Amino acid sequence: MSVLEIVGGIVLLISCVLLIIFVLMQDQKQDQNMTSAITGGTYDSHFSKNEGNTKEAILKKWTTWLAVIFFVATLVILIIPTYFS
C-alpha cells in the first residue's frame, strides 16, 4: 500500500463516521397528518420554526459535503492503484 492509499483510507473512514453522525443528528420531519389534528400536536411557534430551519440547514449542508467527500475519496482509492501499479 502506498502512502496515498493510506491517507485516502483515513479520509474515507473519518468522512464515513462523520456522515453517519450527522445523519443521525438530523430531526425527523413532522408531517401534518390526521393524528396531529386529533391530538393537537402542532409546531407553529415562530421560535421553533426558525431554530429548526437554521439547525436543519446547517446539518443538511454538512451532510451533503461529507457525502461528496466520501464518494470522491472512494473513487480516488479505487483509481490510484490502477495508475500506479
Task: Tell me the pLDDT tens digit for each residue of 49-72.
Answer: 565 567 888 888 899 999 999 999
Domain count for the chain: 1
- Domain that includes residue 15, residue range: 1-23+53-71
Is 37 within a domain? no
Is 16 within a domain? yes
Question: Which residues contact residue 45 at a Cβ distance below 8 angstroms, ignoring those fewer than 6 apart?
Answer: none
Q: Tell me: the pLDDT tens digits for 2-29?
A: 787 888 889 999 999 999 999 998 877 6
Is 59 within a domain? yes
Cβ 8 vs Cβ 77: under 8 Å: yes
Cell 402542532 appears where?
Answer: 42
Is 43 within a domain? no
pLDDT value at 47 more than 60? no
C-alpha distances in Å from residue 35, one per residue of 9, 40, 69, 73: 46, 8, 40, 44
Is 9 within a domain? yes
Average pLDDT of the chain, as a whole number? 78
Q: Which of 54, 67, 66 is nearest to 27 (CA)?
A: 54
Q: What is the DSSP letter of 40?
A: T
pLDDT value at 45 more than 80? no
pTM for the predicted model, two decimal places: 0.66
